[in-house]
Structure 1
């Protein structure tokens, strides 16, 4: 990185620096007290370690998910709360209650696998604890928020993509064979 004080022509002192990457030649902007790769805080571009949303994630869920990714570099508690909100919107999208705990119970009654149920409850509990202090400490939220993003993608895979793929395969069967299955199931 080539470091350049960004405020050199201003009359007041602000610890802003521009760094030009020697590999990609792009600029980043930093606030900090000293030069050095590990000093200060990068202001732009923001880098989130969270995975991108699952391609089949519904639009209203994806909006909260992307916002959670954006705030993650600044606040793991805010990101955890937004992932929990995204999960609640996913439950509503799946036709379940707007009360997230009730919705998870409804999904369990529908035959939700235990691993997926645990993923749902982990997101719900960690997200709740991020805004309502309780037994989970801030440091624990910091450690688990990354997994929350992965779990939400896993839930989308299980509840949406899996059925979409099965339906696509079934629809690719010859019409006569599908009619035979439908006749069999009417009996």
Structure 2
């Protein structure tokens, strides 16, 4: 396990410091209330690894505490399982409407990567609408494939946009591509990365150019 991690409570990168282990805790502890008990535990009375093993059999369980906010984190087999880890941060210049759906996708990406991909598809369409605003003949009511082709973007950008569209469509509507469950988390992560990258190479330069034009125009 890494010596540091990003705290899911406060977002600060903190050192991995496991809580001390005691022999037993006050019963009862069941699978239904185990996770809720983590919310109220304190360093002076942590749950023991033996008790956790009874609730989550055959798994290596560890509890750590964030050094910045004191939030408690539960790990199984070196994987963070509580609180549910979020995905990545949205690119700074992502349009606000699109960012809302991107952030929602990241909040459920470990629970339901398929649903996250569907939300990312909406995020992509909102980015296209943002980029097409004011362009002659552009209409938000057109199908996404047509709107992308009307943007006048370079071939490389168009290829990236259509790649995101195709993947998003497969999770928004029943498609012909057989996407196995074992591949879905990686696809959701890669789609998130690609959408963020698109902001950096497509949206951000346009925003910067607009700012420069405004400054020159004011002189």
* Distance in 1 (alpha carbons) for counterparts of 2:196 and 2:79: 32
Tell me the equivalent position of 2:161.
120
Which deviates further from its counterpart, 82-91 or 13-22? Answer: 13-22
Give aligned pairs, total.
164
Tell me the equivalent position of 2:72.
27
5+ residue gaps in structure 2?
1-17, 39-62, 134-138
Question: In 2 relative to 1, CA 4–84 (structure 1 residues): closer, same or farther, beyond 3 Å?
Answer: farther
Tell me the equivalent position of 1:104.
148
Runs of 4+, deviation exceeding 6 Å:
none
Residue pair 2:109, 2:185 contacting (<8 A) in 1 also:
no
1:48 counterpart (86, 89, 92): 86
Deviations along 1:7-60, whole A, 9 cap, x unmatched? x55646226254233766531246xxxxxx41787131x22343x112121211
Deviations along 1:76-127, whole A, 9 cap, x unmatched? 11111110011112222233434211211212xx2x1122112211111111
Deviations along 1:138-172, whole A, 9 cap, x unmatched? 33333222121122123223443212212333444
List aligned pairs for 1:1-187, cutoff 5 A.
1-2=18-19, 9=26, 11=28, 13-14=30-31, 16=34, 18=38, 19-21=63-65, 25-29=70-74, 37-38=76-77, 42-44=81-83, 46-50=84-88, 52-94=89-131, 95=133, 96-98=139-141, 99-107=143-151, 110=152, 112-131=153-172, 132-138=174-180, 139-173=182-216
Residue pair 1:126, 1:141 contacting (<8 A) in 2 also:
no
Q: Displacement, 1:2?
A: 2.7
5+ residue gaps in structure 1?
31-36, 177-187
User: How high is the TM-score relative to the length of structure 1?
Assistant: 0.71
Which deviates further from its counterpart, 97-106 or 15-24? Answer: 15-24
Residue pair 1:129, 1:136 contacting (<8 A) in 2 also:
no
Tell me the secondary structure at the aligned position of residue 118 of structure 1: helix
Aligned CA-pair RMSD: 3.1
Structure (1 or 2) with the greater helix fraction: 1
